[in-house]
Structure 1
Amino acid sequence: MSHIVGTMQEAIDSWSKYSAPLHEEYRRLQEGTLCATVPISELRWRAPLPRAYQLLDGGGYRPHLELGFSMRKQSFPEEMAEKPSFYQSVSDSILGPTEDFILGTDDLGTDFEAELVVVTNDVKQMATKVEGANGILLVGLMNDISLRLTQRVEHARGFGFYHCKPKKTLAPFLVTPDELGEHWINFKVSLPVEVRWNGEVFGCPDGAEHMMFDFATLVSEASRHRKLTAGTIIGGGTVATYDRDTFGQCCILERRALDILEFGEERTSWLKPDDRVRIEVRMPDGSTVFGAIDQVYRVTPWGR
């Protein structure tokens, strides 16, 4: 890609200029007619956007939110089902898909959260849903690393998130919505999001089934009082399902909430040092969509 455009952000900034030659390069890659290609397995990937101008994370899946509120002994506020909610998260340093995520201590309740995301073009302030849909350039996969014990403190203060959201991780590939074909349904990704924890499947819920707000609606709502700059990442929230016995969870917090409902206490541990988390979305034929996030949680006295 470097002979066409230097960085993903540069391509997004001038999408009308670069999208056609990039699509042509992709076509040739698929046909095997590119020269001097390197097998993907031999490459070490950075995040496709190692830095982003803005990252807005939305609360898009009611099953996830309901369990979170239940752990705080609160009822789910119905207004959250009427209009999307966001928080502005870290975007100045985004981890690549195989980078370790490193903390300086192991008493923070470290958790993974599998999310689907979109990347926007410039979107005007007060964009309609149609304009929001037209502003979606790319779709991707993210691990929203969360420190749950710190999160409780920030919730109690009524201010945050900040310390509880130290890093995000992006899968190696961002794809245009047309690559999802029939699985891009009403601006949602209708494919299972698989999470493996130390090699064991922890969850594989569908990305569309219980998503309250589609990505066009999220983009539109995010622009209510501000223009969105090209390269803005918008997360759809932790993928979740009500059919938990069949499809599991995409974060440990939900499993611990279910522990309380079933056993009266939390029995599932948070992540432990050297645990491995793998997150991937596959087509029905088994082909990967975004590539895999496959990273290890490390603890060092000095952090990173």
Structure 2
Amino acid sequence: MKIASLDDGSPDGALVVVSDDLRMQRPCTDRTLRDALDMKRLVPELTEQPFDEGSCGAVLPRATQFLDGSAYVNHVDLVRRARGADMPPSFWTDPLMYQGCSTFIGPQDDITGDPDWGIDFEAEIAVITGDVPQGASADEAAGFIEYVLLINDISLRALIPDELSKGFGFVQSKPPSATSPLAVTPAALPGWDGRKLHGILHVDLNGQPFGRANAGVDMTFDFGTLIAHAAKTRPLPAGTIIGSGTISNRDADEGPGQPVARGGRGYSCIAEQRMVETILTGQAHTPFLRPGDTVKIWMQDDAGRSIFGTINQKVAPWP
């Protein structure tokens, strides 16, 4: 089943079930996804209408909480290598995770911010959970995944160092992320193996291929593990969104990765390309986002059909 929340001006949008070919939609008796998650049901009505992807807001505009991991440890490794820092061995066995902004914006909403803040995108896979009991194992936790979706986790790179130096975590450097137009139940999702999603995550920057990473490759911590990590000391209420962190692949020769233009899988955020540039040449060259730049993120099935719809955002001028 595919679902979307239409942007009708209300805080949580209007929940609809969307046909697999993304042509038709049906409203639901539970008006919002929040209601459906709380009631543990989703009942579509019989009336069908044409579906317009452009009418979608965030799938879950007001999540219960957003916990973002760093499941692709290759990305963390590149960060440390670019800084000349050693990689703690525990990073390969104990997931990194932070609590982000639980308010989400729509897939076509503008990216806003002062360019001096170092605006970056991060293309990720995410899941929406039902109620997860405290102490759930990784196997148990995977069973509480209700929906899978894409997110563009906006990061303000120039603000991150000062925040981390305080010894707490991200606040100002992590504004609202955008969701894909659609979320999909695991049973209806091609490439889903129960714990992770296999498939190419497409990222275009200003109309040019930027990332073609495979989400099922190099994922050190799957979603069952991430959810169990988050639920170790607390229950997770329905409507919790768990993010994978930036999708990141190594080269076949275990190198740091090549741009798509050079035959590589590219990158799912600008920061990773800058890190690779620093490792290879001693200096980063690719700039962060500026007003007028566009970012497009999507996934396709084996027949080339869109799975989640498209995140298509533009960086707005800053006052």
Normalising to structure 2: TM-score of the pair? 0.86
Range with greater deviation from structure 2 (172-181 or 54-63): 172-181
Unaligned runs of 5+ in 2: 1-15, 17-26, 252-256, 259-263
Establish whether residue 242 from structure 1 lines up as the match of residue 250 from structure 2: yes
Instruction: State the percentage of identical aligned residues.
Output: 37
Establish whether residue 98 from structure 1 lines up as the match of residue 108 from structure 2: yes
In the alignment, the residues of structure 2 paired with residue 36 and residue 185 of structure 1 have an alpha-carbon distance, to the nearest angstrom, of 31
Q: Which residue of 1 aligns with 2:198?
A: 190
Q: Counterparts of 1:172-183 in structure 2 under 5 Å?
A: 172-181=181-190, 183=191
Q: Which residue of 1 aligns with 2:31?
A: 6
Instruction: Work out whether residues 123 and 229 of structure 1, in 8 Å CA contact, stay in contact via their aligned partners in 2.
Output: yes
Shift of 1:217: 1.1
Q: Which residue of 2 aligns with 1:38?
A: 50
> Which one has the bigger helix percentage?
1
Establish whether residue 154 from structure 1 lines up as the match of residue 163 from structure 2: yes
In the alignment, the residues of structure 1 paired with residue 28 and residue 286 of structure 2 have an alpha-carbon distance, to the nearest angstrom, of 49
| Matched position secondary structure for 2:105 | coil
Letter in 2 for 1:5: D
Shift of 1:52: 0.6
Shift of 1:76: 1.6
| Matched position secondary structure for 1:248 | coil
Letter in 2 for 1:157: K
Match for 2:150 among 132, 136, 141? 141
Match for 1:287 among 281, 298, 305? 305
Match for 2:234 among 195, 213, 226? 226
Establish whether residue 72 from structure 1 lines up as the match of residue 80 from structure 2: no
In the alignment, the residues of structure 2 paired with residue 202 and residue 210 of structure 1 have an alpha-carbon distance, to the nearest angstrom, of 18
Q: Which residue of 2 aligns with 1:127?
A: 136
Letter in 1 for 2:177: K
In the alignment, the residues of structure 2 paired with residue 237 and residue 188 of structure 1 have an alpha-carbon distance, to the nearest angstrom, of 13
Match for 1:115 among 106, 114, 124? 124
Higher relative contact order (CA 8 A, sep 6+): 1
Shift of 1:186: 4.6
> Cα deviation per residue 1:152-211 (whole Å; 9 max; x = unaligned)?
222233222111111211001110011124x11251100111110001010111101100
| Matched position secondary structure for 1:294 | strand
Evaluate the alpha carbon distance shift between residue 123 and residue 271 of structure 1 in structure 2; reply closer, same or farther with a 3 A threshold.
same
Equivalenced residues, count = 284
| Matched position secondary structure for 1:141 | strand
| Matched position secondary structure for 1:205 | strand
Q: Which residue of 1 aligns with 2:291?
A: 273
In the alignment, the residues of structure 2 paired with residue 81 and residue 186 of structure 1 have an alpha-carbon distance, to the nearest angstrom, of 21
Unaligned runs of 5+ in 1: 26-33
Range with greater deviation from structure 2 (258-267 or 110-119): 258-267
Q: Which residue of 1 aligns with 2:19?
A: none
Establish whether residue 53 from structure 1 lines up as the match of residue 97 from structure 2: no
> Cα deviation per residue 1:240-274 (whole Å; 9 max; x = unaligned)?
00022220000001111111122211111111111
* C-alpha RMSD of the superposition: 1.4
Letter in 1 for 2:92: A
Q: Which residue of 1 aligns with 2:13?
A: none
Letter in 2 for 1:145: I
In the alignment, the residues of structure 1 paired with residue 305 and residue 89 of structure 2 have an alpha-carbon distance, to the nearest angstrom, of 38
| Matched position secondary structure for 2:36 | helix
Instruction: Work out whether residues 186 and 214 of structure 1, in 8 Å CA contact, stay in contact via their aligned partners in 2.
Output: no
Letter in 2 for 1:249: Y
| Matched position secondary structure for 2:287 | coil
Q: Which residue of 2 aligns with 1:204?
A: 212
In the alignment, the residues of structure 1 paired with residue 88 and residue 294 of structure 2 have an alpha-carbon distance, to the nearest angstrom, of 34
Letter in 1 for 2:145: I
Q: Which residue of 1 aligns with 2:254?
A: none
In the alignment, the residues of structure 2 paired with residue 3 and residue 78 of structure 1 have an alpha-carbon distance, to the nearest angstrom, of 48
In the alignment, the residues of structure 2 paired with residue 39 and residue 214 of structure 1 have an alpha-carbon distance, to the nearest angstrom, of 32
Normalising to structure 1: TM-score of the pair? 0.90
| Matched position secondary structure for 1:102 | coil
| Matched position secondary structure for 1:151 | helix
